[in-house]
Amino acid sequence: MTAVLDLRALSVDLPLGGFLTRARLPILCDVSLSVGRGESVALVGESGSGKTTLARAVMGLTPISGGSVFFEGQRVDGDLARLRRNAAMMFQDATASLSPRLTVGYLVTEPFRIHGLPLPDPAATARDLLARVGLPPAIARRYPHELSGGQARRVGVARALALDPRLVVADEPTAGLDVSVQAEVLNLMHDLRAGMGLAYLVITHNLALVRHVADRVVVLYLGRVVEEGPTARIFAAPAHPYTASLIAAEPKPDPRRRRADLAIRGEVPSVLRRPAGCEFHTRCPLVRDLCRSTPPDLVPVGDGRQARCHFADQRQDKQGERHAVDHR
């Protein structure tokens, strides 16, 4: 079956800025990932890892400098209309992404106007869309600033659903929401997927969200995929030290499980100063000499997973000792 979205060796460079230089800065390097029909894939990584750039490149909002984007088997090549008609973006800051002077009813039906599609009964369409995200019809007359955070997020979802997309790209869909509202948004995403066969590319640094919505996880570091695989396997036994650090850094909602040490120090280095060798070596707790000079490749590590680390294989072997013995 063809994937809904297929990124093949996608690269994005951005101009360095300044008058005298034409130099360009690599932001995304050789990113390949695919999202199957009805599948939910999470893209994770710290701020600055390139998640938003990837979402923008997929939606054609940022030009790509290498590789290609395939939507339902066809290459997206300058012709963005089909992609934008069938894929929708859910923005991180729901309230700010909604134009303040327009009513909710107008906003959720706006995609029809943008794409010049027939809209015989706007009020009825608005009502249906709002109902799908669990909002009462009266909300249609309100303005964005009159909505709570959770309501604004739902309006964002309703708008994304207007044209019956097959893919929703959601950038931090629960950021800044209370846990009670986060749970509602996650349930809504779950229902839409079950009911409409929607596929998601969810961009987040919230691992709790990943565990609940994603079938597969793609971990980005400095614009490169460092690990990729099924969610349950990755959380059970991360193959890449960066993934392991992210999981360990998550605060545990249980005072009896406080962690004493710090899982990961420092911050993502600037894209202006990419470290040599393995780009994670400056923060990696398991760094060895080889890592400082030689960049590792993204290689299969079993279980349908890939990792970009010289020693991922050895760790996987240790984690699945019996497994390894059986196969040798």
Ligand X SMILES: Nc1ncnc2c1ncn2[C@@H]1O[C@H](COP(=O)(O)OP(=O)(O)O)[C@@H](O)[C@H]1O
Q: What are phi and psi of 102, to 5 degrees?
A: -105, 145
- The correct pick among 133, 152, 278, 301 for binding ligand SF4 (CB under 6 A) is 278
Residue 300: contacted member of Mg ion, another protein, ligand X, none (CB under 5 to 8 Å, by partner type) = none
170-to-84, 116, 173, 182 alpha-carbon distances in Å:
14, 24, 6, 14
Residue spans of alpha helices (H) in 63-119: 81-86, 94-97, 104-114
Q: Rule CB under 5 A: say whether 204 interacts with Mg ion.
A: no
Window 234-253: residues binding ligand SF4 (CB under 6 A) = 240-241
Tell me the residue nearest to Mg ion as measured from the CB. 52
Q: What is the three-class DSSP state of 161? A: helix
Stretch touching ligand SF4 by CB under 6 A, among 7-15, 57-65, 92-100, 274-282 = 274-282
DSSP string computed for 169-194: EEESTTTT--HHHHHHHHHHHHHHHH
Contact 16, 24 (CB under 8 A): yes
* Contact residues: ligand X, CB under 6 A: 14, 27, 45, 47-53, 271
Contact 247, 238 (CB under 8 A): yes
- The correct pick among 284, 298, 305, 306 for binding ligand SF4 (CB under 6 A) is 284
Q: How far is the CB of 19 from ligand X (least distance, A)?
A: 16
Residue 53: contacted member of Mg ion, another protein, ligand X, none (CB under 5 to 8 Å, by partner type) = ligand X
Q: Rule CB under 6 A: say whether 276 interacts with ligand SF4.
A: no
Q: How far is the CB of 292 from ligand SF4 (least distance, A)?
A: 8
DSSP character at residue 159: H
* Contact residues: another protein, CB under 8 A: 46-48, 148-150, 174, 176, 178-180, 182-184, 186-187, 190, 205-209, 211-212, 231-232, 235, 245-246, 249-259, 262-267
- Of 45 and 296, which has the nearer Cβ to ligand SF4? 296
Contact 87, 59 (CB under 8 A): yes
Residue 50: contacted member of ligand X, another protein, Mg ion, none (CB under 5 to 8 Å, by partner type) = ligand X
Closest CA to 284 of 260, 266, 299: 266
Closest CA to 12 of 79, 58, 81: 58
Task: List residues binding ligand SF4 (CB under 6 A).
Answer: 240-241, 278, 280-281, 284, 286-287, 291, 296, 309-311
Task: List residues binding Mg ion (CB under 5 A).
Answer: 51-52
